[in-house]
Amino acid sequence: MKRSGWVAWLRLLAGLGILVALVWHLGSQAFLAGLRRIDAATLLAALGIGVLTTVCSAWRWCLVARGVGLRLPLGRAVADYYRALFLNAALPGGVLGDVHRAVHHGRSSGDLGRGVRAVALERTAGQVVLLVTGAVVLLVRPSPVLAPVARFLASPVVALSVAAAGLLVLAVAVRLRRRRGASRGERALRTVVAEARQGLLARGVWPGVALSSAAVLAGYLGMFVLAARVAGATAPTAELVPLVVLALLAMALPLNVGGWGPREGVAAWAFGAAGLGAAQGLTTAVIYGVLAFVASLPGAVVLLARVSPLSAARPAASGAVPLGIRIPSKEPRRSGAEGPPLAAATGMIRQRAVEVPSAVAGGARPQASQATPARGDTS
């Protein structure tokens, strides 16, 4: 098995391990209680919040794609984003939908690399806004969970890691600025940096990216607070927001099974540290996971519509020729080819036969020559 395969399996096992540990310590009642508390009104609210976050996310994707020079209509972006959200929620790993979205847009636009980088930049913009907002909330809003988080961030390991990453980025930037003739890797890095400036930091792009990212984050926070209320949390919303931010930050960790794993673990720890009970935090995370999946269900409709027989027949209607239909040859007639263009006796133009695949014989067979009436022939 390739190294990437082993890494994917380890990530899945890590997510499953977190869920098993939560069930072992808190019991399965927290999971079942979350499922029993969900009603129709909650599901409708989740669908409404999902429309807001998906449209804003698709708008952000359109802005980034146009910034790097790719065309992406908003309607198509919304449909593709819904499909990606459903695949992320239904498949292990939590990122396969984004990979499919990036490859599909890159191939349809004629530039696979740029399409993939546009999706990567769009996702990065959302994560940066989440990190900045989370840092501000945790620093401004007093919370019982702030002390252990601050101790972790101030630990020597984290400080050295951040310092090393900063020095590495600075060294790479200095090297790229000094060197004219760069290697292939350096040219690729310069391309990524240039597209990041165009797709995220351009004057006509960054305000929309920031606004859409803030709206998406507000939708995620609102859905998590809704899940907490359904789970029975009576704490003020201002007290719940720091806990929710930590759970959302945990969702960025690539150790999950369809989004499940770190989110539930961090929610249980944060609610327990805040005195609200670890079981209630786990129930809240479970409800949020169900609501997020329900909000992505329109993506299943998009997925089925794209693979339906009607959509499969669209290429034929747009110019593709079905099997068994003869296409007249456009090759120039060679000297000595049989017959003149115009047969005086019949007034018909002879056309060269073209070989087409035979579905019965399994090979190619020539089609019989057909006669087409010449211009002026009224017979």
Q: How far is CA 118 from CA 36, 72, 268, in A?
A: 40, 11, 35
Q: How far is CA 103 from CA 64, 115, 296, 351, in A?
A: 16, 7, 20, 42
pLDDT score of 15:
67
CA 159 to chain centre: 32
pLDDT in tens, the chain (379 residues): 555 566 666 666 766 777 777 778 777 787 787 788 899 999 999 999 999 999 999 999 999 999 999 999 999 999 999 999 999 888 876 788 899 999 999 999 888 989 999 999 999 999 999 989 888 887 777 666 666 666 666 667 766 777 777 777 777 666 666 655 556 666 777 777 788 888 888 888 999 999 999 999 999 999 999 999 999 899 999 889 989 998 998 887 777 777 788 888 889 988 988 888 889 999 999 999 999 999 999 999 999 987 765 554 454 444 444 444 444 444 444 444 444 444 444 444 444 444 444 443 444 444 444 444 444 444 4
State residue 360 phi and psi, 5-degree precision: -90, -50
**Environment class of 219 (CB within 10 Å of its CB; exposed 0-12, middle 13-18, buried 19+):** buried
pLDDT score of 362:
43
Instruction: Work out the number of other CB atoms within 10 angstroms of the CB of residue 29.
Output: 12
- Residue 356, beta-bridge partner list: 365
Q: Is the dihedral of CA 33, 35, 38, 39 positive or negative?
A: negative
Q: Is the pTM of this model over 0.75?
A: no
Taking alpha carbons only, the member of 97, 99, 52, 33 closest to residue 295 is 52
Q: Residue 264 corresponds to which tokens in the numbers above?
A: 């539930």
Taking alpha carbons only, the member of 346, 347, 348, 355 closest to residue 328 is 355
What is d(CA 176, CA 180) in angstroms, rounded to the nearest whole number? 8
Q: Residue 89 corresponds to which tokens in the numbers above?
A: 């929620």
pLDDT score of 149:
65
> Running DSSP on this structure, what letter comes out for residue 232?
T
pLDDT score of 124:
92
DSSP secondary structure string for all residues of 30-67: HHHHHHHH--HHHHHHHHHHHHHHHHHHHHHHHHHHHH
